[in-house]
Amino acid sequence: MPVHRVSHTLTMAGLEVEGLTEVAGDHVLEINVTPNRPDCLSVLGIARELAALTGKQVKMPPFSIAEEAATGFRVEILDAALCPRYAGRVIRGVAPGESPAWMRERLEMCGIRAINTVVDVTNYVLLELGHPLHAFDLGTLAGGMIRVGTAGRGRSIRTLDGMERELPEDALLIWDAERPVAVAGIMGGAETEVTGGTTDVFMESACFDPLSVRRTSRRLGLGTEAAYRFERGTDREMLLTALDRASALVAELSGGRIERAVDEYPVPFTPVSITFSPEKAGRVLGTEIGREEMTRILESLSMKVTAEAGALRVLTPPHRHDLASDADIIEEVARVHGYENIATELPKAEVTARVASPGRRVAFTVKEVLRKEGYHEAVNFSFMDPAYLDILSLPAGDRRRKTVELRNPLTREDSAMRTMLLPSLLENFVLNHARGAAEMRVFEAARVFTRTFEELPAEHLHAGGLSYVERTPSLYPETAEEFFVVKGTVQSVFDRLRVTGYAFLPSGEPFLHPGKSADLAVGGRRMGFVGEVSPQVLEKLDVKPRAPVYVFDLNLDRLLTLLPERVTYEPLPKFPPIERDVAVLLGEEVQAADVVAVIRAFPSEFIEDVGVFDVYRGKGVPEGMKSLGLGIRYRSKERTLTDEEVDSLHKSLVEHLLRETGGHLRG
């Protein structure tokens, strides 16, 4: 197959060829191998892929070895979980020298410097078969043995790069009878390296736990070709073949007598068994490949396939650690079959109109009103800093202190689900004020969360807003105090939702200014609050604004229960209204909302509307009392009312009002 065709075939199968160069008559492919495919980090791995993609057979490099009896070299694995298999051979009578030109050139084309025949063979087999090997100078190993175990406290080793390294306690090491001689899977020790004077070699081929190798490599800051493969996972069944291949090459290039292998295998390989449905694969891929073709593809990838009722049972090969579910098997079928062979087809889906839930409709309406009132929508995370519960001076029994704590928060400031929107809005204000914002009107409509005795927290939909406006000199100054502007915004929300009978009552919220705040209530049921943020709260936030900060909050879930089921319209009145005003002296404890409610409850069909236009305290009003100015509109739907009728009705209404409130007419 031409090399450009090889490059295209591999790329289309998920092994992207990023470079293709010609060096001394050979072609060098630079292949991007994804982290989940360590089996492709070798010539053999790429050959296996090409064989499956082209229908060919893999040919292993021919070699043979003549074994002699072992002379008693021992291997002991102290931690089988970290080293499931360890094999090795003693090769005696070697004469390390310069490797032949063909080997040096191939190593150098792959970026590896040639050293001597023994070391070069370990690197060559690494690139050829994908399994890391290491050669020890047998004469430097004490006690005629190898042990595999963790470092323990206070150990160090001088590695092949000449560096003295302090070892973590849990680092897996290769020991002789007395001392550590290598960091398992990463790098050998300088005291046991093979040199030109080496005559006897112990060749190691082992399998180590990927997590252990990765952790030790990161802590030591030591990355090697061997570590790169071990920390991604190696083929424990292949390691003996790699050992035999390396031993044969050493004997061929350096001479020597090969002793029988020592192979400790405490944790044998167990293939993953996956039940795979060809019908499901066809649905997922959107094409019909066929059960027989799928079986052929999987067997070409070294998997064992057996037929079961309506499915296939697949046993994964030891070099494929990335296969764990039927989705992985479907992917293998698709890429070997060829993504380009799967027809492109737009997915079919029925589009149906969804009716928005009442809660979504209310939230949309509220957002629309607030945007028209000049507010910008904020979208914050649903988290809060628990410190805000103290900043806002919430009492111990307040339900808003029942936070849902996050098990793994990104930061301490985002460690709890928010129980109210105010902390997020104040965070927005602090951030923008620090950047010089002189005017800010933001709102947010989102859910808040309260811990309950149930498995899941209680969720409530709220809308909250914040207004901050610094008054500047103007030719046409605004005279309305910002509190009443914000209060009017809230009234606009109620009016747009057609919620009637709402009232503003004194608020007991500890984070609001006691003289410039109110609770919103409908029929005695609290719906939210509006008011100026207390100076104590701003002081705790370490901000010094040049104007008051006003906030409001509405419980949209509660408002939803008050919405009229039907909206009825009336024709515009044909007859003119007649208006009358009255000023009443009342005690400070009497709320304006209660006075309005008394008037609305008066039994007369002619009372169309009532409103408060003035509240006065001062000269002419006794201490502890206030003057409340009320405007009342009278109208009949059937005729024009006379002044006499209205005067009589107004007199009766005022007398009723004074009796109910204990007030007096202001003279």
Using an 8 Å Cβ cutoff, are 276 and 312 in contact?
Answer: yes
SS3 516: strand
Calpha distance 58→40 (Å, rounded): 14
**Is residue 331 scored above 90 in pLDDT?**
yes
Closest CA to 127 of 107, 108, 113: 107
Q: What is the percent of the chain where pLDDT is above 90?
A: 73
Tokens of 260: 């029988």
Tens digits of residue pLDDT in 398-441? 999 999 999 888 888 889 999 999 999 999 999 999 999 999 99
Give the mean model confidence (pLDDT) for residues 262-291.
92
**Is residue 632 scored above 90 in pLDDT?**
yes
Confidence of residue 453 (pLDDT cuts 50, 70, 90): confident
Q: Which of 63-77, 86-100, 610-624 shows the highest mean pLDDT?
A: 86-100
Closest CA to 321 of 18, 12, 41, 30: 41
The amino acid that residue 473 corresponds to is P
Residue whose token pair is 């790098």: 187
- Please name the residues in contact with 149: beta carbons below 8 A apart, sequence gap of 6 or more: 78, 79, 172, 173, 175
Q: Provide Rg for the chain, Cα atoms.
A: 42
- Tell me the backbone φ, ψ of residue 208, rounded to 5 degrees: -125, 155
Tens digits of residue pLDDT in 381-401? 999 999 999 999 999 989 999
Residue/partner pairs of 517-522 with CB below 8 Å, 24 or more apart = 518/487, 520/490, 520/494, 520/554, 522/562
Calpha distance 182→157 (Å, rounded): 8
Give the mean model confidence (pLDDT) for residues 226-243.
95
> What secondary structure letter does DSSP report for 563?
S
Report the side by side order of strands in the sheet with 458-469: 376-377, 439-450, 458-469, 549-555, 525-533, 512-522, 502-506
Pairing of β 257-259 and β 67-68? parallel
Give the mean model confidence (pLDDT) for residues 516-543.
92
Tokens of 453: 């005795």
**Is residue 571 scored above 90 in pLDDT?**
no
Calpha distance 76→119 (Å, rounded): 24
pLDDT of residue 3: 86
Q: How distant is the alpha carbon of residue 419 from its chain centre?
A: 22
pLDDT of residue 395: 93
Calpha distance 206→236 (Å, rounded): 7
**Is residue 257 scored above 80 in pLDDT?**
yes
Q: Which of 205-214, 478-487, 652-661 shows the highest mean pLDDT?
A: 205-214
pLDDT of residue 239: 95
**Is residue 667 scored above 70 in pLDDT?**
no
Calpha distance 444→430 (Å, rounded): 16
Whole-number average pLDDT of the chain: 92
Tens digits of residue pLDDT in 119-178? 999 999 999 999 999 999 999 999 999 999 999 999 999 999 999 999 999 999 999 999
Give the mean model confidence (pLDDT) for residues 7-24.
89
Using an 8 Å Cβ cutoff, are 257 and 93 in contact?
Answer: yes
Give the mean model confidence (pLDDT) for residues 588-615.
89
